[in-house]
Chains A and B, each alone.
Chain A
Amino acid sequence: MPIVVTLDVMLARRKMRSKELAARIGISEQNLSLLKSGKVKGVRFATIEKICQVLDCQPGDILAYRRGDGGS
């Protein structure tokens, strides 16, 4: 999929663990792990909003579009 989740990069920049982020945005660690690995069909605006709020970033900081990264 050409949409790539760059959440792990943002987490590293903010020096925050996945466990803490999951707890603060109110989703399970398992779901956050799936999100980080891009193994989800979609992300709710509410989830993006909470992530951006906690990590103090923009949606573009955690999602990227890469041309030619597969077509599905």
Chain B
Amino acid sequence: MTPTDRLRRLSTVMRHLCTLAMIAIPALLATFWLVFGGCWPFQGAGADPGMVGCTAHVDGGLARHLALFWPLPAWKQLGAFGISMLPAAAVLFGLWQLRRLFTLYGDGRIFTAANTRAFRRFASAVFVYALLRPLSQTALIAFLTFDGPPGSGRLAIQLGSPELTTFFLGGLFLLIAWVMDRGREIAEDQAQFV
């Protein structure tokens, strides 16, 4: 098998994985909020301290506090799903761009303008996700607690190493996109030599 064949085969696998993730992410979020009301059944719904685990993905420090608001009414479930979908939309866009990139690799197109465009858009999606993730967490906590008893409303902003790592990765991907663009220029220049 030649390196090109290997690249094509791996690209096809990666393309299918991207498609799968694009279906699984919204499906899992919808299941979590709309079917299980913000708590996976195996985490002991409704019972404290079980609820701590339920909302742990929202924010570790506020999980116990949020447990007081469980079970969530349908409109809150829907709202929480909508807010959770904001950073997920950036992830989906990024996955869509990666899928396009792997499709191009699968077609044997490696250094073209379309490749660079797809990778640059993916890098932008990573940046947008890094920005939307803490914002959506803040919005989610505020949305889940705003109509509770006086003094129970919370506003929390969480910025930690995951956000910084995502920003760093976004910058790294953007740099790789520029390198790919330089590679495309060289490849196009080479194509004009016979």
Contact = CB atoms under 8 A, between A and B. Distances in A.
B161 interface: no
A44 B193 CA distance: 7
Interface stretch (A9-17, A30-38, A53-61, A63-71): A30-38
Nearest to B189: A41
Interface residues of A, number: 11
Interface in A1-47: 27, 31-32, 34-35, 40-44, 47
A interface: dominant SS = mixed
Contacts of B194: 27, 31-32, 34-35, 40, 42-44, 47
Contacts of A43: 193-194
Interface in B158-194: 189, 192-194
13 contacts: A27-B194, A31-B194, A32-B194, A34-B194, A35-B194, A40-B192, A40-B194, A41-B189, A42-B192, A43-B193, A43-B194, A44-B194, A47-B194
Interface of A: 27, 31-32, 34-35, 40-44, 47
Interface of B: 189, 192-194
Given A41-B192, A44-B194, 5 more contacts: A40-B192, A41-B193, A42-B193, A42-B194, A43-B193
